[in-house]
Structure 1
């Protein structure tokens, strides 16, 4: 089960002339390399949910992506692209001498992990795609379905504010809050690492790449779709999602059907963060997958 653990090592890696901070836990021969969601979030929430894998003999590595957390925060929108983040991830892997890793990408980190796997497949032992998608236009349709459950009047109100760009209007924010508690984290009190990441969110990368909130995709990733490329991802893949996830089980199934060597687990009583919402089911699934794909 998750708990907050101090990292054994803290690294500063130069990427594109900027400083990126990475954290390492344990010293096992098998490394779980975590790519957190956002974009624009510090890695706290994902790091704290997976550092406990040291108890099972794994090394766990996470890093604050450029623009987040303890890493540098340049104000240059040209930096906020998935291709640049792929190269940043590879720079961190090389700098820490990680060798072949089990790459675990959550949410936006899953999009990043997919593009990394297509670019550097030789560096991956396995791929773990958590609460993520590979087809943004399909996700947009799914989000419209989730929003529709709020009722026609509320959806019309949201569309009005989106047309006007008044994303900070109280009634619009109230609707987004309801969706967050339904489809992002269903716990009445969100865990401290989640709050810590959210309180330190850099909206610059997020707005540039995704949009103003979790339910409106208008950034530079809005047309991103890797479904046609997924047959090239031949390493073992674990796909996980929550039954109420904003990045829905239908999105997860779409990935599974396109991948040649994938398995899919949908967690009950969970949305976008099963590792916090249903840890009793989540950790056994993850550990079983990792144990089956260790280096022989």
Structure 2
């Protein structure tokens, strides 16, 4: 009786350990190869080996004759059952068909290799085009905003585009290609494509960080800049972070804790190509959309109306890899200090990002004006559209 109890205890503890060992084996293999079939085989092999070892201990404790021989059969059976269970647990879910591309969406085929979706409005009377830069990274807007329409009506050429890896733009085969330098190069290629000596940049959140990065690389090619709810100029200056939106964390954690997403995140940390092979862009982007929808109203002031929802999908790998690269870039502030570009820095009174972040833009850019907008959170244009539009159009002379 004691032997059986001991053997059962070993099995109960050992098999979960075998499963963990198999997953660790997959992650380790992913560090050596991006071929997902090989990575999966490594996981199965490690699980089988540990399962045989567990079986040997179980049958030895139980006093079974020829424990090794029986353990091999036990390991094979456990591996078959675990493989079948893994196929169920890690099976890719159905992904909705992408929404139809609106008729007004066009594409730039840039020399950087990016195929960039954009919309355009207005034109005719102003020398510098206005280019809106969305946040995230990887969370595009949809179409021309009301403020963009107002600028177009006053004669500006207005463009809003989906950054590479997001919305309707190119997804890269190699996720490590999503870098700050790539986004800056795409923006410069857009300027060249437009034939504009200088642009006006309006950046929201990460888009403001991108605008600043572009200014560091091309200080004389921006006529004016609007930094709306700006993200960091340099993440390493804020080791404790700059704040997070309020959220129903139980629901967010539930969405983030799916086995496939957890395994994709583990693979992403060691080999982004392997993660990409395991979880497609279509699936990863859909999962990011689900999480984004849970967070969307946590960035506004309490009592604000729900934020609008659109069908332009975010880009999971662009978000993850750009954020990682952003934390590794050299400090751009020495190149930005004293830049004479006229700038408007807007911050909502309820913005979850620390006020010191927006204040740093005013410090770095000597011709910057910082305005706090009461009753607005991170998405100023959503909560205080009239005030936001008035500030931007006045600053641009529209």
When normalised by structure 1's length, the TM-score is 0.75
1:33 is matched with 131
2: CA distance, partners of 1:81 / 1:90: 14
Choose the corresponding residue for 1:21, options 104, 117, 121. Answer: 117
Q: Which has the higher helix share?
A: 2
Superposed, which structure 2 residues align to 1:1-296 within 5 Å?
7=104, 10-27=106-123, 28-29=125-126, 30-44=128-142, 47-52=144-149, 53-132=151-230, 133-139=232-238, 141=240, 143=242, 181-183=297-299, 187-192=304-309, 195-197=310-312, 200-210=313-323, 219-224=324-329, 225-291=331-397
Q: 1:242 to 1:260 in 2, by over 3 A?
A: same
**Aligned length in residues:** 260
Unaligned residue ranges in structure 2 (runs of 5+): 1-101, 265-290
Whether the 8 Å CA contact 1:240–1:267 is kept in 2: the answer is: yes
1:38 deviates by 1.7
Query: Compared with structure 1, are the counterparts of its residues 244 and 85 closer, same or farther at alpha carbon in structure 2 (3 Å cutoff)?
Result: same
Distance in 2 (CA, whole Å) between partners of 1:177 and 1:34 is: 22
Q: How far apart are the structure 2 equivalents of 1:290 and 1:247?
A: 25
Residues 240 and 265 of structure 1 are in contact (CA less than 8 Å); yes or no, is this contact kept in structure 2? Answer: yes
- Structure 1 residues 281 and 35: CA distance shift in structure 2, 3 A: same
Q: 4+ residue runs of structure 1 moved beyond 4 angstroms?
A: 165-168, 175-180
Shift of 1:12: 2.6
Moved more, 50-59 or 260-269: 50-59
Aligned partner of residue 220 in structure 1, secondary structure: helix
Contact 1:66 1:73 in 2 (8 A): yes
Aligned-residue offset at 1:62: 1.8
Gaps of 5+ in 1: 169-174, 211-218
| Structure 1 contact 13–95 (Cα < 8 Å) conserved | no
Partner SS, residue 209 of structure 1: helix
CA distance in 2, matches of 1:116, 1:247: 22
When the two chains are superposed, the root-mean-square deviation of aligned CA atoms in Å is 3.5
Query: Is the CA contact (8 Å cut-off) linking 1:128 and 1:239 kept in structure 2?
Result: yes
SS of aligned partner of 1:104: strand
Deviations 1:124-146 (A, max 9, x none): 111111111313234553545x6
CA distance in 1, matches of 2:295, 2:155: 37
Measure how far apart 1:278 and its partner are. Answer: 0.6
Greater shift, 51-60 or 79-88, is seen at: 51-60
TM-score under structure 2 normalisation?
0.57
In the TM superposition, what is the alpha-carbon distance from 1:266 to its structure 2 partner?
A: 1.1
Deviation readout 1:44-100 (Å, 9 max, x if unpaired): 26x324431212222211222221222221231221101111111111111122332
Bigger strand share: 1
Equivalent residue of 2:240, what SS? helix
* Structure of larger gyration radius: 2
Tell me if structure 2 keeps the 8 A contact 1:49–1:276.
no
Q: Do the aligned partners of residues 51 and 258 (structure 1) sit closer, same or farther apart at CA in structure 2, a change above 3 Å counting?
A: closer
